[in-house]
Amino acid sequence: DTGVSQDPRHKITKRGQNVTFRCDPISEHNRLYWYRQTLGQGPEFLTYFQNEAQLEKSRLLSDRFSAERPKGSFSTLEIQRTEQGDSAMYLCASSLGQTNEQFFGPGTRLTVL
Amino acid sequence: GNSVTQMEGPVTLSEEAFLTINCTYTATGYPSLFWYVQYPGEGLQLLLKATKADDKGSNKGFEATYRKETTSFHLEKGSVQVSDSAVYFCARYLNNAGNMLTFGGGTRLMVKP
């Protein structure tokens, strides 16, 4: 399968714990995006990378959130000191160059107890 | 501001009925417009897109026309099937505005046999 993959698919954690999610984009896609989707809502933009550079960050991305894309391929999203309000589906998407068509992964569903 | 508004669901139809899901957008430029579909338990999939005014996107019997004068991108299908049951998201992409997709809240479609 050559689509966007995300790991894990589901994560249940206790409040205050740290979690890390991984996204593997479509090979050779230079842009990578993170979105968050809460129940019954549309996805909301969190951040995006062009190659290894993080070029945009939403105000939704508090200082407890950090994202990296060290080699311009896979990306990680870490949430420190999780809160119940962080419970959501975290979506990753990738695109190639200047095209505006983004391809989405299946998402990681986070539940904070 | 820049936003996307779509009709709230759920929309419940019988098989072979005509479907319209309304979507309007605000933007200070000339966005590209998209419809994404999310089937139960799956990730977002691009359904169709239009990149300039009067363009018509179409796929799998679905159509949407980019109407600049009414800032709308309504999704239509002449005859829905049970397999079309899903959540549909309208989205806008505006170059030089964060390079992210801005999504509407989603509309759940339920098609009954």
Is 90 exceeded by the pLDDT of residue B41? no
Distance from CA of B94 to the nearest CA of A (A): 9
Is 60 exceeded by the pLDDT of residue B1? no
Is 90 exceeded by the pLDDT of residue B35? yes
Report the pLDDT value the prediction gives residue B24, as an integer from 0 to 100: 96
- Map A28-65 to HEC letters: CCCEEEEEEECCCCCCEEEEEEECCEEEEECCCCCCCE
Q: What is the pLDDT of residues A22-42, one digit of tens each?
A: 999 999 899 999 999 998 889
Residue A42, chain B, CB below 8 Å: the answer is yes
With beta carbons under 8 A apart, name residues in chain A contacting B51: 100
| Residue among B98, B105, B106 whose CB faces A56 most closely | B98
Report the pLDDT value the prediction gives residue A79, as an integer from 0 to 100: 97
Residue A55, chain B, CB below 8 Å: the answer is yes
From CA B68, how far away is CA A71, in angstroms rounded? 41
Looking at every residue in chain A, the average pLDDT score rounds to 93
Report the pLDDT value the prediction gives residue A1, as an integer from 0 to 100: 55
Q: What is the pLDDT of residues B50-72, one digit of tens each?
A: 999 999 999 999 999 999 999 99
Cβ contact, residue pair A91, B101, below 8 Å: no
B2: pLDDT confidence band, cut at 50, 70 and 90?
Answer: low
Who's near A54: CB < 8 A, 6+ residues apart?
A47, A48, A67, A68, A69
Among residues of chain A, what percentage have pLDDT more than 90? 81
Is 60 exceeded by the pLDDT of residue B75? yes
Report the pLDDT value the prediction gives residue A98, as an integer from 0 to 100: 66
From CA A68, how far away is CA B61, in angstroms rounded? 40
A52: pLDDT confidence band, cut at 50, 70 and 90?
Answer: very high
Please tell me the number of Cα atoms within 13 Å of A52 on its side-chain side: 3
Residue from A55, A91, A102 to probe the interface with B (highest B Cβ count within 10 Å): A102
